[in-house]
């Protein structure tokens, strides 16, 4: 059985997908872009600000589903330019300081809305 998770505190899906789905105690969060849900667009132009917004969006979905960052077991980070890795990582480590989740990071040719970063997340209770 699956449950769709949706919150107004994270950006609405920009396509035919859900913000997140819970199935058998596992929360699958779709890749989050640095869209500020209050204004519906990307406001920050730098990797640090965009990464912070992505984590604010992830946090909103985690909270809506009754999870927290300590429940996260896997993340996948997509960067539009791998040269932004160190700055993204500086923000990332503020959210995962011990018992960090497994992670993959990829440089991609482009991201929706010309974002610099997108992160998908899997959490388990």
> pLDDT (tens digit, 9 = 90+) per residue, 28-87?
999 999 999 999 999 999 999 999 999 999 999 999 999 999 999 999 999 999 999 999
- What domains, with CATH codes, occur in the chain? 2-124 (3.30.1330.40)
Identify the pLDDT of residue 76. 98
Q: How many CB atoms lie within 10 A of CB 114?
A: 10
DSSP state of 80: S
Q: What is the mean pLDDT of the chain?
A: 97
Identify the pLDDT of residue 1. 86
Percentage of the chain with pLDDT > 90?
Answer: 95
Phi, psi of 47 (to 5 degrees): -65, -35
The answer to whether 100 touches 3, Cβ cutoff 8 Å, is: no
C-alpha–C-alpha distance, residues 77 and 84, integer Å:
11
Identify the pLDDT of residue 14. 83
Residue whose pair of structure tokens reads 């990071």 in the numeric block: 105
C-alpha–C-alpha distance, residues 3 and 24, integer Å:
9
């Amino acid at each position: 059985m699956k449950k769709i998770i949706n919150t107004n505190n994270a950006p609405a899906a920009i396509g035919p997908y859900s913000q997140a789905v819970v199935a058998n105690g596992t929360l699958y969060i779709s890749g989050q872009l640095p869209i500020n849900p209050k204004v519906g667009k990307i406001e920050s132009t730098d990797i640090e600000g965009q990464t912070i917004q992505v984590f604010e969006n992830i946090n909103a979905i985690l909270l809506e589903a009754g999870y927290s960052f300590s429940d996260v077991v896997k993340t996948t980070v997509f960067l539009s330019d791998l040269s932004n890795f160190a700055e993204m990582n500086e923000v990332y480590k503020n959210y995962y300081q011990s018992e960090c989740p497994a992670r993959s990071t990829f440089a991609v040719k482009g991201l929706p809305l010309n974002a610099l970063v997108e992160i998908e997340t899997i959490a388990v209770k």
